[in-house]
Structure 1
């Protein structure tokens, strides 16, 4: 089998991106690595590199809230495998990542050799979890799965607006951050509520919070 030649590393910590680059180079000699340090940067990278063979995704980058980044990416690019690489190491979190469409979950505490082996396994079509986590059921509820599917239908800009809503920002604050008019943000919010099947921004925020994951108590999440 010919291994992948293009892998996206999405993590906001430069030191960990460098460590992942080492693991990737060991797993796939001659690989092209593209880096992204936020969800916005990842969205742009995926558009430019739609032929990427794998995304290594941190759960706690700027612009994401737990599984929202994973769910969004899988909805927009269902053919692009995503492996979560995170400091969140609870078995429940790992299994839910798989339920939401991840092809693997690699704890950040893993040795580089283990990370390399996991990358090779996923590129060969396997779903990779730490051995002690692979067993055991903790599936997402039907409601979570349904909301995840709706979340994947949002456009990149609508997703950014939703994440800013979860941070408690007002329309005028979001408009300032995104350098658009307040009327544009109102239109985005209307579209978001319609796509998510909710009737208020508060309901949208509550729904999005269901996909949240408590950040790890380490610096590199």
Structure 2
């Protein structure tokens, strides 16, 4: 690990994390930010980081809004939520929102290091998450990345496919030609990395795509 950004509005927390990382990861270059705006500015200026450790509750941040903003602006940078809150389901919600890990501030130093190493190895980390849960989170995140690659119009078409509509019904509903619908469906299958409409429906149902509409 070469570059880490610690974003927390409490200086003592930043000092503690800096000490843990400096001892565990030799010659790691550390950056600090006391606000989300400062964190974003540092990433913009300095480029990619191996990890961003982001406090869940900072001024001006509501829920996972800070996490979502960083993930949207810097999708290649893994963000680990570091939080004093440990409500049930919070860690899973953080991972679902795009975090690479969820590290409680109450963890002992060795456990924090182990958690960061887990994330650096390309895996998700959350307290007490077993292997099955971790595998499910990785699969869900992969499916979501594929869905995010679809254009808005392709997502509309996919929702109609999930609803069980045939190409001619989709063409009628969207007032487009059959050729256009077929082109959209072909592109959707390619981006989702599946070979049939049925496979596409099964895949996206795992993340409940279209079920909120």
Instruction: Tell me which interval the TM-score lies in, with the shorter structure as reference length.
Output: 0.5 to 0.7
Q: Report the TM-score, using the length of structure 2 for normalisation.
A: 0.60
Give the corresponding residue for 2:37: 40
- The alignment partner of 2:89 has SS state of helix
Q: How far does residue 54 in structure 1 lie from its aligned partner after superposition?
A: 0.7
Check if 1:55 corresponds to 2:52: yes
Q: How far does residue 60 in structure 1 lie from its aligned partner after superposition?
A: 0.8
Q: Report the TM-score, using the length of structure 1 for normalisation.
A: 0.58
- The alignment partner of 1:66 has SS state of coil
Unaligned runs of 5+ in 1: 140-144, 150-221
Greater relative CO (CA pairs within 8 A, separation 6+): 1
- 1:104-183 aligned at under 5 Å gives the runs 104-131=101-128
Q: How far does residue 136 in structure 1 lie from its aligned partner after superposition?
A: 6.1
Residue from 50, 64, 69 that aligns with 1:67: 64
Structure holding more helix per residue: 2
Cα distance in 2 for partners of 1:66, 1:134 equals 27
Unaligned runs of 5+ in 2: 138-143, 149-213
Instruction: Provide closer, same or farther for how the CA distance between residues 132 and 121 of structure 1 changes in structure 2, counting only shifts above 3 A.
Output: closer
Q: How far does residue 97 in structure 1 lie from its aligned partner after superposition?
A: 0.4
Give the corresponding residue for 2:89: 92
Cα distance in 2 for partners of 1:14, 1:135 equals 37
The aligned length equals 138
Check if 1:102 corresponds to 2:115: no
Instruction: Provide closer, same or farther for how the CA distance between residues 11 and 109 of structure 1 changes in structure 2, counting only shifts above 3 A.
Output: same
- The alignment partner of 1:45 has SS state of helix
